[in-house]
Amino acid sequence: MEYMLMLYFNEQGWPTLTKAEQEAGMAAHDAYKDSLEQAGILRGANALQPSSRAATLRLADGKARVVDGPFAEAKEQIGGYYIIDVADRDAALGWAARCPTAAYGAIEVRPLGFPSQNCSERK
C-alpha cells in the first residue's frame, strides 16, 4: 500500500541555520532517500517551495476564490514529502520515524487512494 509521508516544520527556521547546518540537513535527507530507494519502496519525493509561494483555491457560488499562501495559519508548514509503498501502516510509521524531519518537526503518515468502501460510490 502506498503512503505519503508529509514533512511539517517551521520553515522560518531554515534561513537561521548556518550553511554547514543546512548542508548537514540536506545530506541527512539524501541519505534517508537513498535508504528508501535501496529498500525498493520509494515512489516519489520532493521538497516544496516556501508557503509564501503557495495559493489556496476554493469555489464559492461557482466562482474560484484564490488566497495567497496556505489556507491555515500555522507555525509549521508542509515542506516536502515522500511517497512509499510498504506492507502496512506500521511499516510506514517505522520509516517515518527514521526520517530526519522527525527530530525537529512532524510527519503526517497518510495512505494514498480512496478507501475501498468508497470506490464504488465515486464511480
Tell me the domain boundaries of the chain. 21-49+76-122
Closest CA to 48 of 8, 99, 18, 85: 8
Between 121 and 55, where is the model more confident? Answer: 55
Res 43: pLDDT: 98
73 has pLDDT over 80: no
Res 123: pLDDT: 44
Q: What is the mean pLDDT of residues 110-115?
A: 90
Contact at 8 Å (CB) between 97 and 14? no
- Domain 21-49+76-122 belongs to what topology? Alpha-Beta Plaits (3.30.70)
Residues 6+ apart with CB under 8 A from 28: 100
Q: What is the mean pLDDT of residues 111-120?
A: 71
